[in-house]
Amino acid sequence: MNVKQKQILNRLFVSTFGEEASAFRPLPRSGSNRTYYRLSSAKYQAIGVCNSDHRENRAFVAMTRFFVSERIPVPKLLGENLKHGVYLVEDLGDRTLFEEITEKLHQPDGIGEIRQRLRQVIREL
């Protein structure tokens, strides 16, 4: 993380939660130019996202707001500074759907559990 990104994300964290982030942990990339960080303080935790693609950021924010308005369970948008290409989203933990599916592929009834989980995800969407 470059110093400028860290400063901008920390200012956003402070304006959102009222205290500075004491930890910035990078998270793995997932198929885009976005960079992700887990920011935390004594009381709060969020995922910080940095992305220089301003159109993609505006689209993400608009879609997130729409999904929330439709009661679709997605991580909440906690704060944004789109001028500088950063935003904060709710931290839902480390486990991804892909990891869950990959793990279950090698279990005795894994395929059935995967189908059930994917049906649940599709129903929610």
pLDDT of residue 84: 95
pLDDT of residue 1: 63
Q: Over range 12-41, report the average pLDDT.
A: 91
Query: Between residues 124 and 70, which one has the greater pLDDT?
Result: 70
Residue pLDDT, tens place only, 63-76: 999 999 988 888 99
Query: Between residues 35 and 125, which one has the greater pLDDT?
Result: 35
pLDDT of residue 117: 87
60 confidence band (pLDDT: 50, 70, 90): very high
pLDDT of residue 77: 97
Long-range contact list for 39-46, CB < 8 A, 24+ apart?
A: 39/9, 39/10, 39/13, 39/88, 41/13, 41/17, 43/17, 43/19, 44/13, 44/17, 44/19, 45/91, 46/13, 46/16, 46/17, 46/78, 46/79, 46/88, 46/89, 46/90, 46/91
Residue pLDDT, tens place only, 72-111: 888 999 999 999 999 999 999 888 888 888 888 888 888 9
